[in-house]
Amino acid sequence: MMSAKGKVCAVQIVLCIFVPERTFVCCMFHSIKVAELKKETEDCVSILLDIPAEKSAVFAYAPGQYLTFRAQIGGQEVRRSYSLCSAPSSGQWRVAVKRVPEGRFSGYVHEQLQVGDELEVMEPMGSFVPRIHDSEPCRYVCFAAGSGITPMMSIIADALQKDKDAEIDLFYGSKKTDSIIFKEELEALKNTHLHRFQLHYVLSRERLQSEWFYGRIDGEKCAHYGKYLFDPRSVTQYFLCGPESMIKAVESSLVSLGVPSDKISYELFTVPGAVQSTQERAEQRQSLGQTESMVTITLDGLDMTFIMDESDDNILDAALHQGADLPYACKGGVCSTCKAKVKKGEAAMAVNYALEPDEVDAGYVLTCQAVPTDSTVALSFDE
Ligand code: FES
């Protein structure tokens, strides 16, 4: 096992950086003005971004995608990802930021951010999006809890507007009526699309008309809804967004109702507790039989090659130590901002809460979770 000192040695054995005149930096952050701040609930503020016309093409997005923000707070760089809650067809870019206890970025947004301020924003990313097949009707069932509603707003509004035959059920868990984020917008969507959008609130601190809508969304409730409120066989895609416990419970309930897992898309909005320690990563690499590898990464057409040994936790951190400015946000395997395609050799991920099976099959990895399992590995952030 290498010590922390060993890590310094690893940094010193950079092989080469093939960028004689340009630096190897990530160009994906843009300075964007805040156009509006809107209080959605007591602890949730939405930010409308003023994307200039000349950047609207690079900021084009699919419903369900997210933006990554970067800010210097208290002398430290902080990155956070937030789902877009606006529909692409609205011509707006809006995210919602729920205040979390001791959250540095959310505290900054709630206490300091002003209209007219500039935020550093990365271009939209994410694969929590509708998979539209022309032959299939648009029949969605969505399960959300708390701020997990944000990508759903985009997905639901976009589908209802673009497809006159779209039918959607939303089961949305909140604490009580006044903590329901986007309540007005949801009610307006329901009233506009009375027969196509069914809205079901599930409240944990306020009793509604039925016990089935009291408490937290869990597997038992999901099975009940699948029996009485929607036909699991006719649904073309399920969307789940919330804490890991809800997602796991609903996913396994849907599978037991006979739903194929490739119809279930989910997105966590928190980094799960079980993140591997450095020691666990090193042990994983030893067990994979590959403790030192030559890694080449490509970003914006430029290559960087370095030696990664067992003192490096993952490919992303190893490259950042070499001075690369790569895209990342959560570093917990959740957001997919650090996604890259393996072009040569192989790499194994510790956890993956973000990539779809078809992306993994196509060779994509989350570099914040990946270690090389070959002596030579090449990855591209450009594909
Ligand atoms: S930085 Fe979020 S998954 Fe890697």
**Mean of pLDDT values over 232-258:** 95
pLDDT at res. 283: 66
Nearest CA to ligand 1 atom 3: 333
Q: Which residue has the higher pLDDT, 273 or 49?
A: 49
The two tokens of residue 233 are 């066989």
Question: How do residues 17-72 score in pLDDT, each as one tens digit?
Answer: 333 334 455 557 999 999 999 999 999 999 999 999 999 999 999 999 999 999 99
Our mutation pick for probing the ligand 1 site, out of 334, 356, 359, 381, counting the most ligand atoms within 8 A of Cβ, is: 334
Closest ligand 1 atom to the C-alpha of 354? 3
Question: How do residues 134-183 score in pLDDT, each as one tens digit?
Answer: 677 899 999 999 999 999 999 999 999 999 999 999 999 999 999 999 99
pLDDT at res. 209: 79
pLDDT at 16 > cutoff 90: no
Q: Which residue has the higher pLDDT, 272 or 136?
A: 136
β-pairing, 44-50 vs 347-349, is unpaired
Around ligand 1, the residues with Cβ closer than 6 Å are 328-331, 333-338, 354, 366, 368
Question: For the purposes of burial, counting CB atoms within 10 Å of the CB of 228, is it exposed (0-12), middle (13-18) or buried (19 or more)?
Answer: exposed
Question: How do residues 71-87 score in pLDDT, each as one tens digit?
Answer: 999 898 899 999 999 99
- Spatial separation of the C-alpha atoms in residues 383 and 379, rounded to whole Å: 10
Closest ligand 1 atom to the C-alpha of 331? 1
CA 333 to ligand 1 centroid distance, Å: 5
| In the chain, % of residues over pLDDT 90 | 72
Structural domains present in the chain: 4-25+276-380 (3.10.20.30), 30-122 (2.40.30.10), 139-268 (3.40.50.80)
Question: For the purposes of burial, counting CB atoms within 10 Å of the CB of 328, is it exposed (0-12), middle (13-18) or buried (19 or more)?
Answer: buried
Comparing 6-15, 188-197, 350-359, the range with the smallest average pLDDT is: 6-15
Q: For the whole model, what pTM was predicted?
A: 0.82
pLDDT at res. 13: 31
CA 358 to ligand 1 centroid distance, Å: 18
Comparing 24-38, 206-220, 352-366, the range with the smallest average pLDDT is: 24-38
Closest ligand 1 atom to the C-alpha of 367? 4
CA 107 to ligand 1 centroid distance, Å: 22
CA 271 to ligand 1 centroid distance, Å: 10
pLDDT at res. 279: 60
pLDDT at res. 280: 64
Question: How do residues 280-312 score in pLDDT, each as one tens digit?
Answer: 666 666 666 667 899 999 998 899 999 998 778
Q: 346: closest CA among 370, 381, 314?
A: 370
CA 353 to ligand 1 centroid distance, Å: 9
3-state secondary structure the chain: CCCHHHHHHHHHCEEEECCCCCCCCCCCEEEEEEEEEEEEECCEEEEEEECCHHHCCCCCCCCCCEEEEEEEECCEEEEEEEEECCCHHHCCCEEEEECCCCCHHHHHHHHCCCCCCEEEEECCECCCCCCCCCCCCCEEEEEEEHHHHHHHHHHHHHHHHHCCCCEEEEEEEECCHHHCCCHHHHHHHHHHCCCCEEEEEEECCCCCCCHHHECCCCHHHHHHHHHHCCCHHHCCEEEEEECHHHHHHHHHHHHHCCCCHHHEEEEECCCCCCCCCHHHHHHHHHHCCCCEEEEEEEECCEEEEEEEECCCCCHHHHHHHCCCCCCCCCCCCCCCCCEEEEEECCEEECCCCCCCHHHHHCCEEECCCEEECCCEEEEECCC
The two tokens of residue 114 are 């002003």
Closest ligand 1 atom to the C-alpha of 328? 1
Q: 119: closest CA among 64, 149, 79?
A: 79
pLDDT at res. 153: 97
Closest ligand 1 atom to the C-alpha of 366? 4
β-pairing, 66-73 vs 237-242, is unpaired
- Spatial separation of the C-alpha atoms in residues 160 and 183, rounded to whole Å: 17
Per-chain mean pLDDT for the chain: 88
**Mean of pLDDT values over 265-274:** 71
**Mean of pLDDT values over 344-352:** 93
Our mutation pick for probing the ligand 1 site, out of 271, 366, 379, counting the most ligand atoms within 8 A of Cβ, is: 366
- Spatial separation of the C-alpha atoms in residues 40 and 278, rounded to whole Å: 39
CA 365 to ligand 1 centroid distance, Å: 10
Closest ligand 1 atom to the C-alpha of 330? 2
pLDDT at res. 291: 72
**Mean of pLDDT values over 327-347:** 93
Q: Which residue has the higher pLDDT, 154 or 322?
A: 154
pLDDT at res. 14: 35
CA 366 to ligand 1 centroid distance, Å: 6
Helices 244-256, 219-228: inter-axial angle, 10-degree rounding: 40
pLDDT at res. 5: 32
Question: How do residues 96-107 score in pLDDT, each as one tens digit?
Answer: 999 988 899 999
Question: For the purposes of burial, counting CB atoms within 10 Å of the CB of 158, is it exposed (0-12), middle (13-18) or buried (19 or more)?
Answer: buried
